[in-house]
Amino acid sequence: MQAVPRRVPGADGWARRWPLATLIPAVLLAVAILCLATGGLLDATGASPVPRDRLWAAAGVVGGVYSLWTTVQSLRAGRIGVDIIALLAVVGALATDELLAAGVIGVMITSGRALEGWAAGRARRDLDALLQNAPHSAHLYQAGALTTVPVEQLVPGDRVMVAGGELVPADGNLLGDAVLDESTLSGESRPVERTAGDPIRSGAANAGAPFDVMVTVPAAESSYAGVVRLVEQAEASQAPFVRLADRYALWFLALTSAASAAAWAAGGVSRAVAVLVVATPCPLILAAPVAWVAGLSRSARRGVVTKGGAVLERLAGCTTVLIDKTGTLTTGHPTVTDVVPAGPLSADAILGMAASLDQLSPHVLAQAVLRAARQRGCRLLLPTEVEEVPGRGIRGLVAGQPVALGKAEWVGISGAPGWAKAARRRAALDGSMTVFVSVDGQPAGVLMLDDPVRPDASRTVRALRRSGIDRIVMVTGDRPEVAETVGAALGVDEVLADRSPAEKLDVVRFERHRAPTVMVGDGINDAPALALADVGVAMGARGATASSQAADMVLTVDRLDRLGEARSIARRSRRIAVQSVMAGMAMSLTAMAIAGFGWLPAVWGAVWQEGIDVAVIVNALRALRPQGTELRLDEEGTSLTRRFQAEHVVVRAAVEQIRACADLLDRVPPPRAAAEVRDLYRLLAEEVAPHESAEQDLLYPALERLLGGSDPTGPMSRAHVEIAHQIRRLGQLLGEIGPEGPDGEEIAELRRLLYGLHAVLKLHTTQEEESYLSLGDEPAPAPPGSDHRSGGVTDPLACAPPGSGSASNERAGR
């Protein structure tokens, strides 16, 4: 894998800004205009006609020579290009002494090509920005000092300093807090905050104070290097629709020849020349490429890098989508969703013991647990005498107490006690995993782990269906029971579980035989299927390099809903390209008919054609702009969505605590049950209720102004009322419970109320994230346990303050 080439100001930067394909037409256009204008000035002053005619003829020759050159290039490539029509028009005008017409035609030819180069450059601006902003150098710590070295020299383990305004040179882990501008990677224009330990990607700009990064991969394998390679491939690609001009050159040339011959027979050679002038199919030559490149630029601006206009065209025609589950429809990071105590130890104590033990584990999930504990500010104790057996579990001493976690038999659980049986049954129903914990040789409880569905997954499925996708299939190597649960929640048409990479290929072949197919995945095992599909889409923000290289399109931001946006951009680009071509060709054919009757001289025919060129290019550039139907909040509304997205992390943690509290009511002594419910009520009254009230008072008015209509947020506002009512009922019920704790009937009433509140609050929070908070164009809030900023894991259960020793944990497959 080659390192990203360094681009420095000079010849290379000048050549990129002014490539020959753009520079030559621009220079020829300037020469043609100068000749035409100077000849016109001589004619206006009554000077001798000889220099005037020579200048006009020179302008025509300039255009004719350029048309000859492009025609020869087409013939060498085995194609009959439509430029031959323009060449015939110039030759005819010069042969009939229509020198002014020849000069105007020369300007028309060169201006058309120059306009194409300008428009393509304008449309490709966002792609070029990705290439030009590639990191070139890094400040490396060597022998206690900072040394500036090329990024190609960085290796994993190097420590580098990123100064203010500079780009992160390679992927790595933060060694301190930072504020980053990730707009070139994600399309989000606002700075984002990162904390120590967060993974960050190369290409992000330091928008704050200097910070240090520990490099984890070589620069050549970093995120930005991959994006640059994809952009370079996109620039080298050409959409099939762009070649329509050549595809239909034969019949159009025949039509033009017949029309000009008829005009010659009816009114002489000058009329035939006039037909040739307006017959030049510039709309077909110019409009399609500009529209597709504009679509590429628009998608790149939204964090979707596409390998050429051909991919966008295929995407616009696909009607089937195959989607992998883990890491694509789900976050790909299992999280602790609940802790079920089996004895006197509290959930916090169990988590603290487990997380402390995990500090010496190389297991990837252990690292996620430690990151979660640090994010919650939990204090961890150093374990001793640690022993880990892959596939079974880990054990050791924490503060002198024996602690073990892993499979049931590993931690000493025999038989099927009621709490363990209930946990396994719940895991089977929810598609979750269980990890058992013992302390001092006695069963302490079980950790429930889940791989949450992405908050934007349901929204993406709906967007795909609205865009014309009629079949969505989830293809995964996961267990059928887990896959069916996720598929049912998202509403896909079919779930194909327990599929190997070879079987995924068979699925792609079958679906391609039925209809054009998109495959979406993120792992190395998805790479063959991505390469085989009509359009392969890789989740490149965290996906494997192999899948990104095999894919035709890469989502460089960790948001699945950008797939729906890419599909909409592709369909709109195709619609605009076809519209521009058809409208331009209709105007050209109309002009041919008018010229054939002798009503449009060659000079004015050239002016007419020039106007058509400008019109179709301007129309094709509409693909750069957002679609008019897109609803986005203003800056004030977007700041509110950011605020409430952050608060939803706390709300989702409260949702899980409601369920956990309801589950343990009859498994602990009544006084402790009352204390647990009172702690939960304080959280609901002090955090959740004010959050829901603030949403109603601040966010919902902004949404109503955006959505319009009569009470568009009415159903969601009703949920706010119901949540507040249930929290008040909980407080009233607690007021009736004495110091001895709840009795049997009170426990039943508490459980009914808590389960109801859990269902309402969880559904309401999910609906807000999918339907409302996404309108602020910010990354979707993380589901319980996941850090949307870094792809890490956060414990959804509240940790005790520092010093209590509590923490979080998750473990699977030991």
Of 106, 108, 101, 93, residue with least CA distance to 269: 93
Token pair 């001798």 is at which residue? 48
For 374-439, list the strands marked E by DSSP. 384-389, 393-398, 401-406, 433-439
Alpha carbons 594 and 274: distance in angstroms, whole number: 9
Buried (b) or exposed (e) across 740-765, using 16+ Cβ within 10 A? ebbeeebbebbbebbeebbebbbebb
Q: If you count DSSP H runs as helices and E runs as strands, how many of each does the chain have, helices first? A: 29, 24
Amino acid at 199: P
Tokens of 193: 């905050």
H or E element in which residue 614 lies: helix 602-620
Q: Three-class SS string for 18-73? A: CCHHHHHHHHHHHHHHHHHHHHHHHHHCCCCHHHHHHHHHHHHHHHHHHHHHHHHH
Alpha carbons 115 and 107: distance in angstroms, whole number: 12
Of 368, 371, 361, residue with least CA distance to 394: 361
Active site residue 324: yes
Alpha carbons 444 and 458: distance in angstroms, whole number: 37
For 476-534, list the strands marked E by DSSP. 494-496, 517-521
Buried (b) or exposed (e) across 15-32, using 16+ Cβ within 10 A? eeeeeeebebbbebbebb
Backbone φ, ψ for residue 632 (5° rounding): -135, 140
Let me know: does 710 contact 680? Beta carbons within 8 Å. Answer: no
Alpha carbons 169 and 137: distance in angstroms, whole number: 7
Q: Coil, helix or strand for 338?
A: strand
Let me know: does 796 contact 809? Beta carbons within 8 Å. Answer: no
Number of other CB atoms surrounding residue 193 within 10 Å:
12
User: Could you say which of 158, 324, 450, 552 is catalytic?
Assistant: 324
H or E element in which residue 172 lies: strand 172-174
Whats the size of the chain, residue-wise? 814
Positions marked catalytic: 324
